[in-house]
Amino acid sequence: MDFFNFHTHRFTNQSDILELVNQYPWEFDASIPLYSIGIHPWYIEEDRVDNDLKIIEEKLQTQNCLAIGECGLDKRIEIPLELQTSVFEKQLLLAEKYKKPVVIHCVAAFQEVMAIKKKMKVTVPMIIHGFSKNSQLAEQLIKEGFYLSFGKYLLRNPELKTVFQQIANDRFFLETDTVEETIQQVYDLASKYKNLNDTELREVISSNYKRVFHK
């Protein structure tokens, strides 16, 4: 593996890239070799939740499923936070049961996500994908045991540079999510920001991958 793409919605099937492809239980694609699977807060349908959770549990028991998610909380959507929280907590229970890391979608609900982690005593790694906030929040999340993944906003927002530079090397991942740019482009920018050469950055990510995914 030359590159690890922590979170993507596009499977490109390149031999030098290990891609953790986001999947949903209601449209599962068995041809994708490695994936995460979860109920995204945007797509919660109450009458389908039990069935979705059943499919997720089934997939979590396979080797191809590396993580649960993306799942989490989003305060900017109309789905009630109470329902989002219930669905999120049910997925965290599955993550604990099957010892799988969690890919987290979080919008304007970081304090709630931290509180849930503490309340449920979650022991598996929890990774905030697409981090785009300030250094203070980044520090707080890392102190609470979270990892942070950077991609789209790192490419789009130069102000994120200093936040990213302050993240300890054993606490971050890189991703493309839904953007057109490649994971190689994200790596190029990250190595520049971190003042690491290509090999050093790949070793950092590879080490984080092994630690979080027990590979």
Give me the pLDDT at residue 190, please.
Answer: 98
Binding site residue list for a divalent metal cation = 70, 105, 129, 177
The arrangement of secondary structure in 3-213, i.e. its CATH architecture, is Alpha-Beta Barrel (3.20)
Q: Average the pLDDT over 84-89 and give the result.
A: 98
Q: Average the pLDDT over 66-86 and give the result.
A: 98
Binding site residue list = 70, 105, 129, 177
The tens digit of pLDDT for each residue in 147-202 reads 999 999 999 999 999 999 999 999 999 999 999 999 999 999 999 999 999 999 99
Q: pLDDT at residue 135 above 90?
A: yes
Confidence of residue 54 (pLDDT cuts 50, 70, 90): very high
This model's pTM is above 0.75? yes
The tens digit of pLDDT for each residue in 21-44 reads 999 999 999 999 999 999 999 999
Confidence of residue 215 (pLDDT cuts 50, 70, 90): confident
Nearest-CA neighbor of 190 among 178, 173, 203? 173
Confidence of residue 3 (pLDDT cuts 50, 70, 90): very high
Q: Report how far residue 163's alpha carbon sits from residue 167's, in angstroms, rounded to the nearest whole number.
A: 7
Q: What is the mean pLDDT of the chain?
A: 97
Q: pLDDT at residue 1 above 90?
A: no
Where are the chain's structural domains? 3-213
Give me the pLDDT at residue 73, please.
Answer: 98
Confidence of residue 107 (pLDDT cuts 50, 70, 90): very high
Q: Report how far residue 50's alpha carbon sits from residue 131's, in angstroms, rounded to the nearest whole number.
A: 29
